[in-house]
Amino acid sequence: MFFCEKPISLNLQESDECYELSKSKGVHLLVAFQRRYDPTFVKLKTVVEEGGIGTLQKVRTVSRDNPVPSIEYLKTSGGIYHDCLSHDIDLIRWITGMEPVEVFSYGTNFIDEIKGIDDFDNVDCILKFSNGIIANIDVSRKAVYGYDQTITCLGDKGVVTANNETPTTVVLGTVNGFHSDPNHYSFPTRYKEAYTFEIEHYIDLLLGVTKVPKLTHKDVHNNAIIAHALEESARTGLAIKLHGLI
């Protein structure tokens, strides 16, 4: 049994070979996309699956970092599309239960050091699905107000939103207005529960309590294909039709 932080490799062939090796050895390979284990996001997906908002039409995810990662880390991260956006890609595929057919993305820079390593620090993406669903991803490397993670799903009968979480829900009201805690500082505190549930899932796989990983070879392969396509779109200015999905 193997447990690996994403991505396994920026080379898709190497990633696929890891899965083939684990299969040949009769063991699981679990790749860490921790947001699938977050209780808030799980509830949002359940609402969508159970028809709580009717027919799903649009999905929007927001992922804005705090603090800005170090340049030393970013140089080896694989870039914003594979380091940050891959999480949003995975969430959208998970929520919709579908694969996009075409993608488009803009990437820009406001941080000179990130531009200097040929990466982006602000990105917007559009994912188009065959049944008409449109998904939007809003990613930034810098959110001075705290770690910003939200999802909104729109249907023909309603909307469901997963809002930001704060350390407490206390709100103080005075003549100066209303004041509450800022968002969680960064991902280790925001996803504390998610990491716990992810490890528990890994242990269940080890013990044989659970037979199928929550994230499969298909998920990891297709997330990478879509991330590559979105980065290609940002660098060429073209919409990219997706090929090579499994």
- Contact between 105 and 125 under an 8 Å Cβ cutoff? The reply is yes
Please state, in angstroms and rounded to a whole number, the distance separating the CA atoms of residues 49 and 39: 15
Tens digit of pLDDT for each residue in 187-223? 999 999 999 999 999 999 999 999 999 999 999 999 9
Give the pLDDT of residue 7. 85
Check if CATH label 3.40.50.300 holds for domain 38-199+217-238: no
Low-confidence ranges of the chain (pLDDT < 70): none
- Using alpha carbons, select from 104, 178, 170, 161 the residue that is nearest to residue 135: 104
* pTM score of the predicted model: 0.95
pLDDT of residue 229: 98
CB 160 within 8 A of CB 53: yes
* H-helix or E-strand spanning residue 3: strand 2-5
Domain spans, the chain: 38-199+217-238
Q: Could you tell me if 175 and 78 are in contact, meaning their C-beta atoms sit under 8 angstroms apart?
A: no
Q: Is 33 exposed, middle or buried (0-12, 13-18, 19+ CB in 10 A)?
A: buried
Which residue matches tokens 């199928």? 212
Mapping DSSP onto H, E and C, the string for the chain reads CEEEECCCCCCHHHHHHHHHHHHHCCCCEEEECHHHHCHHHHHHHHHHHCCCCCCEEEEEEEEECCCCCCHHHHHCCCCHHHHHHHHHHHHHHHHHCCCCCEEEEEEECCCHHHHHCCCCCEEEEEEECCCCCEEEEEEECCCCCCCEEEEEEEECCEEEEECCCCCCCCEEEECCEEEECCCCCCHHHHCHHHHHHHHHHHHHHHHCCCCCCCCCHHHHHHHHHHHHHHHHHHHHCCCEECCCCC
